[in-house]
Structure 1
Amino acid sequence: MIKKQQEIKAIIFDVGGVILDLNKKKTLRIPESISTIYGISIEEARKIWVTYDRRSLLTGAETPKTFLRNISRAIDTSKTPETLYEEWTKLSLKEENCIDWKLLDFIKNLREKYKIYVMSNAVNIAQEDKLTRTIKSMFDKYFVSYEEGFRKPEKEAFLNVLKKIDCNPENCIFVDDTLININTAKEMKINSIIYKSLEQLKKDIKEIVDK
């Protein structure tokens, strides 16, 4: 039997917007969290997040408390970084309720044929660790930016994961909800799927596998 030239061996999943349903009100991206804990508009929070050197936060070079201390200089607040951090953690406590368990059931089935990994941009807060523990056993390896020192969409982030899982790009599928991350993966010849729904994902994976 002749093997396919691009036989799929591994599938890499994002977390926020894929495994976590960001359409649910209980799940907040970082700008929304900033808006809530500081009591400022979402527009102002997004502006702060976009202009801030967020790479340090996402790659673990900067702690969340230092991040909050730094952005507090641009926001009129009487709250201490410790208080803000506690409020941020409390907001994140709700994320466990936003896990897409139907998707995880599908991933469980995929593990019978493929190695399954997570590659996520994440901040090192206590709840992130709790969320990781909840679903970590469902994956062969769990790569988070603050531990790896790289973040998507940096090519180094993808190269780091490919090296650690010992897999060529053409033998992988990458699933993410953010176009800029998908574009980098495609540039690196990784089979890529922008996530919209579980049914669409099943269809797209089948198309890639059947090539």
Structure 2
Amino acid sequence: MNKQHKIKGLFFDFDGVITIEKQGSPTIISYISKEANIPIEVVENAYYKHNDDLLYGDITHRDMWEQFCSDIGKTLDFHMLEKAFMNVTFDEKMLDHIKDKHSDYLIGMITDNKADRINTIVNNTVLKDLFDVVIISADVHSRKSERKIFEEALKQSGLKAEECVFIDNTESNLKIPSEMGFKTIFFDDEKRDYSDLYTGPGGRG
């Protein structure tokens, strides 16, 4: 049995891989800044102080919203934040690749992210039908610098690390899964070269 037949699951990072934008927080911040007419530096300072707690799932956006509004000096409807979650641009070529593979592989997402943001995006877009497993750092209280988030992906998928490919746009995020036995692919979010997706593990080559 060759390596391609051995691979059963393809796991993708979200921001910078599935989306054109490299990171999620700036998409939220820029939307709120524009819609509320507040200087972006003010929104950044008010938002980023909560970022680590949000990513680890220690708090949700609802938990920090009152303080955030106080810090920016304006009371905003929480629905503005939910709209800000949707301020993303999908990479259509990447989605085509995922659609092409969906019938042959389990498709998963492993992302350092806020649970409410990812759930809002997934449940209101085509991603809902494309992803079999979605692992979010805030849900499992672990980020990609730790084993736990990848162990949870294996648990929920029922697969072994050696049966999985993980694709990320940050090389340091590939270290832990590689050590665990995942096949890893670095996706350069500047060049957006899709050839590795088709010639690497789980690809067409």
- The TM-score, its normalising length taken from structure 1, stands at 0.73
Question: How far 1:157 moved relative to its partner?
Answer: 0.5
Q: What's the counterpart of residue 129 of structure 1?
A: 119
Change (3 A) 1:32 1:39: farther
The aligned amino acid for 1:9 is K
5 Å-filtered alignment, 1:29-68, equals: 29-31=24-26, 33-34=28-29, 36=33, 39-41=39-41, 45=44, 49=48, 52=49, 54-68=51-65
Secondary structure at 1:22 match in 2: coil
1:145 equivalent to 2:137? Answer: yes
Tell me, yes or no, if the aligned pair for 1:174 and 1:191 is still in contact at 8 Å: yes
Q: What's the counterpart of residue 173 of structure 1?
A: 165
Change (3 A) 1:114 1:93: closer
Q: In 1, distance between residues paired with 2:131 and 2:54?
A: 25
Change (3 A) 1:70 1:178: farther
The aligned amino acid for 1:164 is Q
1:14 equivalent to 2:13? Answer: yes
What stretches of structure 2 of length at least 5 have no aligned partner? none
Q: What's the counterpart of residue 182 of structure 1?
A: 174
Deviations 1:112-158 (A, max 9, x none): 32211111222244x64332021121122222233333332321111
Question: How far 1:55 moved relative to its partner?
Answer: 4.1
- The TM-score, its normalising length taken from structure 2, stands at 0.75
Question: How far 1:84 moved relative to its partner?
Answer: 6.7
5 Å-filtered alignment, 1:194-209, equals: 194-196=186-188, 200-208=193-201
Counterpart pick for 2:90 among 96, 99, 110 = 99
Instruction: Give me the identity figure in percent.
Output: 24
Change (3 A) 1:47 1:164: same
Counterpart pick for 1:191 among 177, 183, 199 = 183
What stretches of structure 1 of length at least 5 have no aligned partner? none
Deviations 1:171-207 (A, max 9, x none): 2110111222122222323111111269734435523
Q: In 2, distance between residues paired with 1:179 and 1:172?
A: 17
Q: In 2, distance between residues paired with 1:32 and 1:105?
A: 23
Q: In 2, distance between residues paired with 1:177 and 1:167?
A: 23
Aligned length: 195
The aligned amino acid for 1:176 is D
